[in-house]
Each structure stands twice: as structure tokens, then as C-alpha cells.
Amino acid sequence: MSVFDRFNLTGRRALITGGSRGLGLEMAKALGEAGAELMIVGSDEEHLKRASAELHAVTIQADLSKPEEAERLCDVVLRDHAPIDILINNVGGRRINTPTEDLALGDWQRILDLNLTQAFILTKRIGGAMIQRKWGRIINISSINALWPGKAMRGRSYETSKGALTMFTKAVAADWAVHGITVNAIAPGPFLTDANKRWIGEKPEFEGEVADSIPMGRWGRPEEIAPLALYLASDASSYMTGSVLILDGGKLLW
């Protein structure tokens, strides 16, 4: 078997949340190219349709900011699309920038639900179903902000939820290693996806300020996460679990 064969995903089925755009779309493309059957989840039907035409993926609409929708998604997946071998918990983000002293409890909770609670629900139910099959890959998309509070950020619910997702990754990795399931996280730095293009649209100087704060002098391109996701999704990463892989052009060095 060549080293390239160890990245082959023929016969594997992967579920990627937020696979319709941004980092999730690029990770889905890579897993598809390696032979996996794909299932992607998003909140917007149009975005899902567009991505599915490109990826030939099964699509499921769900608003994962709501725990009850995450449960419904698991019901549908486990009933109609099981077994899932690879789970990428990619959905997350923030659209608020309110200082902690002014942050409403409801807004705090919504960000925790979006970044953490749904990932717990999918790990418990879809990851839990991997236990009896003795093979599984779970990849959680964290952030460098799990490790470092962003200077421009306010409210801190984003960093807190990504920090918790990172420790959840390590704890479940320890528990499930015996079952042949690996659980790892990727901590991206700034990537030019729609989410960041929206911030740049509101504050154009942000694009240059961020690029200047990175040793490589530029934002990440979404496709640059894909090879790392493929590594973690495949047999190539057979001895890696509980790791948090930083992908940031060196941003955390400065």
C-alpha cells in the first residue's frame, strides 16, 4: 500500500456541517475527491442546492443554532443515511461584537449553542453510533481564538465556546480511543470566507490590518484547509487523536 492509498476514502460516508460554503465546502470537496460519499448540512436551501450540484452530495437543511434542530438532523441521518464514518463539526461563528459588560444572556447562549451545543449533540449521536463499528473520524473546527483572545473581538462568547469545543475534543478523544474513533480539532486563523468578507465590507481596513498581523503576510485561502481535513478523515492519521492542529500562517507566533 502506498502512502497515497492511506488517504483513500472509498467506501466511507462523511457528514460535513456547513458544507455548502466556506471552509466546509472545501473540506467536502477534498473528501469527495478522495472517494467518500458526502452529506452536507446548511441552513439555506439555495446554498445547499448550489453546493450539491458541484459535490453530488446528499443535502439536509437544519438550523444548527437551535439544539432541537440538531437533534432532528440526527434523527434523519441515523434513520435514513447511516452509517456515517466521518463527522466534521464545522458550523460555527459569531455575528455579534458586544462588550461583555453589555452582552445579553440570550446572545451569549445563542453563540454557545451555535459553536458548542450542536457539536456535542452530533458527536453524542452520530459519533456515538460509530462505537459499535470500531472505526470513526470526528473533526471539530475550532479556531485560534480557542487559544488566544482576539484583539478586535468583544463579548467573548466566541472564544469561550471554541475553547470549550477544544477541550471537548480532547476529552472525547481520550474516552473513544479504545473504540477506534479519533477525535481531533483544526484551529484555523483568519481565512477569507464569506463570514470575514462581511466584516471587511463593514470595515475595509480590517483586511490589511489582519494580513499585516500574520507572519506569512496574507489571509488563508479556504482551500488550504482541505488537505489537513483529508489527513484527519483518513487512515493516514491513524495514530493521531486529541490533537488541535493550528492552521494560521504563523499568526499565533506574533
The footprint of ligand NAP (CB under 6 A) covers 18, 20-24, 41-44, 47, 62-65, 90-93, 114, 141, 143, 188, 190-191, 193-196
CA distance 152 to 120: 28
Give the shortest CB-132-to-ligand NAP separation in angstroms. Answer: 28
Give the shortest CB-65-to-ligand NAP separation in angstroms. Answer: 4
Q: Which of 7, 108, 120, 158 is catalytic?
A: 158
**CA nearest 248: which of 119, 147, 137?**
147
Instruction: Give whichever of 92 and 127 is closer to ligand NAP, judged by the CB atom.
Output: 92
Instruction: Give whichever of 150 and 180 is closer to ligand NAP, judged by the CB atom.
Output: 150
Cα dist. 250→42, 62, 140, 254 in Å? 30, 35, 20, 8
Give the shortest CB-64-to-ligand NAP separation in angstroms. Answer: 4
CA distance 30 to 8: 11
Instruction: Give whichever of 135 and 206 is closer to ligand NAP, judged by the CB atom.
Output: 206
Q: Please tell me whether residue 181 adopts helix, strand or coil conformation.
A: strand
**CA nearest 90: which of 229, 198, 209, 208?**
229
Active-site annotation holds for 158:
yes
- φ, ψ of residue 64 in degrees (nearest 5): -80, 0
Instruction: Give whichever of 8 and 43 is closer to ligand NAP, judged by the CB atom.
Output: 43
CA distance 79 to 208: 47
Give the shortest CB-97-to-ligand NAP separation in angstroms. Answer: 14
CA distance 245 to 232: 10
Q: Is the dihedral of CA 8, 12, 13, 17 positive or negative?
A: negative
Instruction: Give whichever of 107 and 235 is closer to ligand NAP, judged by the CB atom.
Output: 107
C-alpha cell at 227: 488537505
- φ, ψ of residue 28 in degrees (nearest 5): -60, -45
Give the shortest CB-127-to-ligand NAP separation in angstroms. Answer: 17
Bridge partners for 40 per DSSP: 16, 59
- Residue of minimal Cβ distance to ligand NAP: 22
Known catalytic residues? 158
